A and B are shown apart, each in its own frame.
Chain A
Amino acid sequence: DSGVTQTPKHLITATGQRVTLRCSPRSGDLSVYWYQQSLDQGLQFLIQYYNGEERAKGNILERFSAQQFPDLHSELNLSSLELGDSALYFCASSVGMGGEGYGYTFGSGTRLTVV
């Protein structure tokens, strides 16, 4: 157990639908990062939050949004889902704004299947 909790572990939904993925960071970590991993594209950075504020943005689609709450948990919202959104979504956390020292701690991921 890495200390980063992601729910749900598996999600199957239809095209056009909206889903919310949840992440609780490791205790004491202030940064949360979201990554998407599909078979053909590897690990793609989506977005980072640090202590509730958006810190960095990667290749995140406009249909996707995220936020980090005062208790530091984060949610990734995916809407108007398409077949190509099927992937593993990982959340990671770190103490500071970057991964210096101990890197990022990743959760076990949410596997999203869009049918």
Chain B
Amino acid sequence: EVHLLESGGGFVQPGGSLRLSCAVSGFTFTNYAMSWVRQAPGKGLEWVSGISGSGRYTSYADSVKGRFTISRDISRNTLYLQMNSLRAEDTAVYHCVKGNSSAWSGLMDVWGKGTTVTVSS
């Protein structure tokens, strides 16, 4: 069974940094693209970033480009999201999501429960 377990969320001041982690199990990590999707309180879903199975291809939403970096550690079966220069509008639950192929297509078939990031002074 596929499991995605996010961690690393918390409270941070504007301008600060956080690194989110997502430990995966139940599938061959390198065979699937991964994504981060966030949901602000009471709001809808917003795709944040994606990475191919090999890790060679990454993509970002305009709202986070230049501030966030997605990466994956194959030896640890872990996905990361390094978030810098955080803003109040980055406050959200961040979900780790598995893709349906090694090439990042945007389709997401299994979601983690998420980790909460709060950016406030």
Q: Say whether A associates with B.
A: no
